[in-house]
Amino acid sequence: MLGIVGAFAAPGVALARKARKPFVLDPKYQPQLVDFAPGYAPGTVVVDPRNRFLYLVESLGVARRYGVGVGRAGLAWSGTATVGRKAKWPRWKPTANMIRRDPGKYAKYVGGMPGGRGNPLGSRALYLYRDGMDTYYRIHGTTEPWTIGRAISNGCIRMLNDHVADLYERVPVGATVVVL
């Protein structure tokens, strides 16, 4: 379907643009309770990057599953961490590695970006710490919902904003996070 964009056209000239399809999340990535048998304690967050799911263990054998976007090849992180802090509408600042990899895209944000609708961390962020130190990896919302189910991020775990807001309310600071 083509839409007309007249505001930028010369008088009497109409420019056409392709209309964007509305985003629809694959149902398998909707939050849902699932059987989960690996033996983690209730309250543990388990991320399975290969299958693009995050599990919040609810009880023995049951977890709440969310779809996620994960780090692209070479940028993924794995291991055990804790939620060191949480933030609503967090401030974002690209890491030095992000700026080094793509200065054209990230150098202009070296001073950071305040929280808000255009911020890449979305509506909520859970900051992952190891041995009391920030790992610079996050579980956070996204301004790019179509990336859920894909390996595309700079290493963080992305969720839809509504889903990360739900997780944010369920997971306390100090919770264990295991990224497989």
Question: What residues are annotated to the active site?
Answer: 140, 156
3-state secondary structure of 104: helix
Euclidean distance between CA atoms 90 and 126, whole angstroms = 10
| Partners of 35 in the β-ladder | 62
| HEC letters along 86-103 | EEECCCECCCHHHHHHCH
Euclidean distance between CA atoms 86 and 173, whole angstroms = 7
- The answer to whether the CB of 154 falls within 8 A of the CB of 81 is no
Euclidean distance between CA atoms 155 and 50, whole angstroms = 13
